[in-house]
Chains A and B, each alone.
Chain A
Amino acid sequence: MSIFDTTTLSAAGVTPGSATAAATETRANIIEATQAAEDAVLTPKDPGAFPHPLRAALAARVAALGGEPALAERYAARAGGSAALADPAQDGTDQGLSHLMAFVDKVANDTRNIDAQDIAGLQTAGVSDADIVRLCELVAFLAYQLRVVAGLRLMTGAAA
């Protein structure tokens, strides 16, 4: 896979031959490791309580909330039966997952106000510590990827 085929560079519209592409080629190891990190949170061998389609839905949700509709669409396409949760307007009540949706949305977009009660609330709802870490890694990676995509797009000079 060329670095230009990774989710991050293709979502940002970085194409070979541009000045932005030349810069990313000097950091090809980082672009490749970013794809490996994406695979680790979207399609891990051990998904814990979060099957791959649900992970894709959550990724799409975080991307949509972050103002990256094209990336949201890419992830939503892999969300299968969990696709409803890709829509940030859905609070997860219908799926019995409202506690998870509230946590995901807060970690993604109101990080500074997360406190011990947010974690205790998940534990009370029966989410295991390992699954809490898995969920944080998924949202945290997306926070990184969305910003790299948005930053690269600014580098290319394209409008959002």
Chain B
Amino acid sequence: MSRIVHKFTRTVPQWQPRVTPVKLDEATPEQLDALSVTPSNTKVSAYVLTLAHDVESLKVRSPLFNAIMYDAGGMSRAEREVGALAASMVNRCIYCAAVHADRHAKLEKDTSVTDELFAKGENADLSPRNRVIFDFARKLSEAPVGATAEDMAALREAGLSEEEILDLILSSSLFGWANRLMHVLGDPVREEVSA
């Protein structure tokens, strides 16, 4: 038996779709082509097979996702993960939050920031720089016009460059997208360990 995970965790759950994913052996040539642009083409995840129902979006989404999260320059990868995590916490996407909290902890070789965020949410005790990054991403995630000129000024006062600010906008907004797929189309689940 598996149960749905409701609490934020860094231990990445399984993802169980609420719709029937495309079956690999029934995929159209277009779907197979789009599936091959994902990082792993030997074992395609249930999530990617679900998104294969909209093959045109899937094909453009993977390169865009990778560019926003991993391209060189601008904001550090760990700080982009804070943007992703803030969005995932606002939208309560347990799966996305787990993946990106885990990635942040591994990049920083430190779990304290994500421990603090999961324990205290927006009241977490953060460094001044992480504070303004998290707050901006949280407000932008709550509503498109939720962040204000004061929030933007706080990013600049904390020393973020224009390129870093752009990367923060992109990474947190990207998870406005990803959360609305992951959290809407499936459940985060974990296998029950039977006694």
Asked whether B169 lies within 8 Å of A136 as measured between CB atoms, the reply is no
Q: With an 8 A cutoff between CB atoms, is A97 at the interface?
A: no
CB-based nearest B residue for A106: B184
Q: With an 8 A cutoff between CB atoms, is A2 at the interface?
A: no
- Assembled-state Cα–Cα distance A151/B177 (Å): 15
Q: With an 8 A cutoff between CB atoms, is B193 at the interface?
A: no
Instruction: Out of B61, B93, B149, name the residue touching A154 (CB < 8 Å).
Output: B149
- Assembled-state Cα–Cα distance A147/B139 (Å): 10
Tell me, rounded to whole Å, the shortest Cβ–Cβ distance linking A131 to chain B: 8
- Assembled-state Cα–Cα distance A130/B181 (Å): 13
| Interface-centre pick from B50, B145, B172 (highest chain A CB count, 10 A) | B145
Interface 1/0s, chain A 126-148, versus B by CB < 8 A? Answer: 00011011101101110111111
Asked whether B64 lies within 8 Å of A40 as measured between CB atoms, the reply is no
Known pairs A66-B145, A112-B92, A140-B180; A152 contacts B60 (CB<8 A):
no
Stretch at the interface among B36-44, B124-132, B160-168: B160-168
Interface secondary structure of A, over-half rule: helix
Asked whether A160 lies within 8 Å of B163 as measured between CB atoms, the reply is no
* Chain B residues, Cβ within 8 Å of A107: 180, 184
Interface 1/0s, chain B 107-133, versus A by CB < 8 A? Answer: 000000000000000000000000000
Tell me, rounded to whole Å, the shortest Cβ–Cβ distance linking A69 to chain B: 10
Instruction: Out of B71, B140, B141, name the residue touching A29 (CB < 8 Å).
Output: B71
Tell me, rounded to whole Å, the shortest Cβ–Cβ distance linking B72 to chain A: 10
* Chain B residues, Cβ within 8 Å of A147: 140-141, 144, 169, 172-173, 176
- Assembled-state Cα–Cα distance A155/B163 (Å): 10
Asked whether B145 lies within 8 Å of A40 as measured between CB atoms, the reply is no
Known pairs A40-B57, A119-B185, A129-B20; A139 contacts B147 (CB<8 A):
no
Instruction: Out of A123, A133, A144, name the residue touching B50 (CB < 8 Å).
Output: A133
Asked whether B184 lies within 8 Å of A114 as measured between CB atoms, the reply is yes
Q: With an 8 A cutoff between CB atoms, is B59 at the interface?
A: yes
Instruction: Out of B51, B147, B181, name the residue touching A150 (CB < 8 Å).
Output: B147
- Chain A residues engaging chain B, CB cutoff 8 angstroms: 19-20, 22-24, 26-27, 29-30, 33-34, 36-37, 40-41, 44-46, 48, 66-68, 107-109, 111-112, 114, 116, 118-120, 123, 129-130, 132-134, 136-137, 139-141, 143-152, 154-155, 157, 159-160
